[in-house]
Amino acid sequence: MTADLHAAAKRCLDATDPSEKLRLTHATWEAFLAGELHPTASSPAPEPIGAPGRPDRPQLVPQRQVPHRGLGTAEGRAALVHAVAHIEFNAINLAWDAVYRFRDKPLEYYRDWASCAHDEARHFAMLSGRLAELGHAYGDFDAHNGLWEMAEKTAHHDTARMALVPRVLEARGLDVTPGMIDRLLSVGDERTVAILEVILREEVAHVAAGTRWFRHCCERDGLDPRETFLDLLRDYMGRNLRGPFNRPARLEAGFDHEELDRLTELALQS
């Protein structure tokens, strides 16, 4: 394995087979921890963003075409687990793209996102195992591509990427997962609940990394973080902001009360 962290991140990003992506992700994280990989100035410039490495299935469809199923059947619970697994698979790619695409960052930036990729790979493996218990596999249900589409829109702009992917799209998981857990408990699916509880706890740290590096970008450019965040929301998402927000989890992830009040106002206008 080369000492070039950016090249290693690209290999993880490009891997199409999920098991190979997970293997490379864990190996890359371990090599980084061991001091065998470093961000290098001599690394080739990042290529224009395109589709990440992913298997032929699931079929990607517009978000409104992904069917909503009840949780009263094993099929419905499998569809929910599959939807979360798809988010985690995308999150592996998002984390590695953050390592690959954005250069000249502090070493801690690369540590944060490589660690995030490692966590997301572990989450995906847990969800894949649960899918198998429910008689399914990743790819059995249709999915949408919203997370990666935002990565493409923000590929040129590190401040926008840090604001909108971890602090909006991934943070949405902090808002909706407690309700998912309650619904699954009501139908007795404690095995899925145990996995979602791990993911919810660890995703707080991932959103916090987004907060940390978004503010770092704002400080670098002399921008006010709160107003910049709201401006980016309007520019990239218009009025498509959904609440309610999990205030305790978002506060733990670096949001402040005034910011959450402003987000609540925007969501009510959406």
Would residue 44 count as lying in a domain? no
CA pair distance 210, 166, nearest whole angstrom: 5
Six-digit token pair at 5? Answer: 């962290």
Give pLDDT tens digits for 227-252: 999 999 999 987 678 889 999 999 99
CA pair distance 177, 174, nearest whole angstrom: 6
Would residue 14 count as lying in a domain? yes
pLDDT the model gives residue 67:
80
**CB within 8 A of 212, min separation 6: which ones?**
112, 254
- Work out how many domains the chain is built from and give that number: 1
pLDDT the model gives residue 269:
84
Give pLDDT tens digits for 63-89: 888 888 888 888 999 999 999 999 999
pLDDT the model gives residue 1:
45
Query: What's the pLDDT band for 270 if we cut at 50, 70, 90?
Result: confident
Six-digit token pair at 222? Answer: 């002399």
This prediction's pTM: 0.96
pLDDT of residue 5 exceeding 80: yes
Q: Name the helix (H) or strand (E) containing 77.
A: helix 74-101
59: left (phi over 0), alpha (psi -120 to 50) or beta: beta
pLDDT the model gives residue 2:
53
Would residue 53 count as lying in a domain? no
Q: What CATH number corresponds to the domain at position 216?
A: 1.20.1260
Q: Domain span at residue 172? A: 5-36+61-269
